[in-house]
Amino acid sequence: MGQTAAVSAFLWITVVSLAAWCWLLLCQGFFWRTDVRLPARREPASWPSVCVVVPARDEAGVLPASLPSLLAQDYPGRAEVFLVDDGSTDGTGELARELSRRHGGLPLTVTSPGEPPAGWTGKLWAVRHGIALARARQPEYLLLTDADIAHAPDSLRELVAAAGSGFDVVSQMARLRVESRWERLVVPAFVYFFAQLYPFRWIGREGSRTAAAAGGCVLLRTAMAERARIPDAIRHAVIDDVALARAVKGAGGRVWLGLADRVDSVRPYPRLHDLWRMVSRSAYAQLRHSPPLLLGTVAGLALVYLVPPVAVVVGAAAGSAATALAGALAWAVMAGTYTPMLRHYRQSLWLAPLLPYTAFLYLLMTVDSAVQHYRGRGAAWKGRTYTRPDAVPDEG
């Protein structure tokens, strides 16, 4: 009798999970679709000037694969690159100068801002320094891009043309590296979960309050940066790209975010430890260091991602066809919504049924992020430790 009641209760939990997946499929901005690419481009009669700001700390390992692509931009207007060496110890600044001498292309200025003052993350302090130098050139646009991002030769041209459609921010989610076994398992899911939280279609819709950007590639109108007080207004933001987008929307600006075809991150994450560190560094901060939000997130992840495969096993073992069927349907919807992202990353579709396992890893990363926070360890980032709960920078 007790076993029957337990199976019946689990059936209802599974039905709730299936209902959640039906809602996500149809009512969450079609987040699972990967066709949100650069909006219609309008080439201006006169191309505006652009300054590219690249914050860099200990990036000598990736600069040879990324910086030459920026210097080689085929842009009809005036463009200049400012690389801000944020206290690197690996020769990042000198390597950047050498790459400029070797490859030529756009003018490059390498500068250093010194140690960030209290209340600033190192990355945003470097961005502030770069923007201050760039403003002397009076550019109409700023391209904020990370040191690990490689751009196709027409990337800047396409971004500026897209901004001509009336956007103050045009941002592209760079295609992350998926070469190691762990990258193939974890990275596409990272972008999938991000799109689930911030559906791209909602971000670009006029009047929508949903705001997000991808810090590796953000074209920002300079006048809007001044109106929204970027980066001062977000100087200790946990996830600075999302904070930037919110500040711009709060100032009355329009934001667009979509997937990139020819903007790629060259940063490797060969081991699970590397990916774990990337996620756990800011996962709990994303939840505003709130225990109730943490418990709700863990429960939500378990209900949506873990219940379906467990229901299939429990239903089969207990002879409950209804439980197994409801679990299988929810699992099928889950895998189906993940398939477009796997195609975008050119990965095997056999990874789709493994999404519950990947989600379980993200659940553990989130819990670990909270554990590290309460142990008072802060967040380590390229040799710096941030003890403030609101001072955890993005990778870059």
Look at residue 383 in the predicted model and tell me its pLDDT: 54
CB neighbours (10 Å) of residue 314?
19
Q: Is 370 helix (H, G, I), strand (E, B) or coil?
A: helix
Torsion of CA 226, 228, 230, 232, to 10 degrees: 100
Neighbours of 325 (CB within 10 A): 16
pLDDT in tens, 49-61: 999 999 999 999 9
Distance CA 230, CA 82 (A): 17
Q: Which has the closest alpha carbon to 216: 265, 159, 146?
A: 146
**Above pLDDT 70, what percent of the chain?**
94
**CB neighbours of residue 390 within 10 Å:** 14
Specify the 3-state DSSP secondary structure of 22.
helix
Q: Write down the pLDDT at residue 380.
A: 52
Mean pLDDT over 88-99 rounds to: 96
Per-residue pLDDT, averaged over 351-365, amounts to 98
What is the predicted pLDDT for the residue at 121?
76
Q: Which domains does the chain have, with CATH numbers?
A: 1-30+275-378 (no CATH), 50-270 (3.90.550.10)
Over residues 261-297, the pLDDT tens digits come to 899 999 999 999 999 999 988 888 888 889 999 999 9
pTM: 0.93
Q: pLDDT confidence of 307, banded at 50, 70, 90?
A: very high
167 pLDDT higher than 80: yes
Cβ neighbors of 300 (< 8 A, separation 6 or more) are none
- Measure the CA angle with vertex 315, ends 314 and 321; round to 5°: 180
pLDDT value for 302: 97
Residue range 162-178: average pLDDT? 96
For the residues 168-180, what does the mean pLDDT come to?
A: 97
Q: Which of 92, 230, 89, 78 is nearest to 148 (CA)?
A: 92
Question: Alpha-carbon distance 91 to 94, whole Å?
Answer: 5
The predicted-structure confidence for 105-126, as pLDDT tens digits, reads as follows: 999 999 999 888 887 877 889 9
- Confidence (pLDDT) at 388: 46
List all residues 6 or more positions away from 203 whose beta carbon is below 8 Å from its beta carbon: 210, 211, 212, 245, 255, 256, 257
What separation in angstroms does the CA of 342 have from each of 136, 185, 335?
A: 44, 10, 10
Exposure on the CB side of residue 385, measured as CA atoms within 13 A:
6
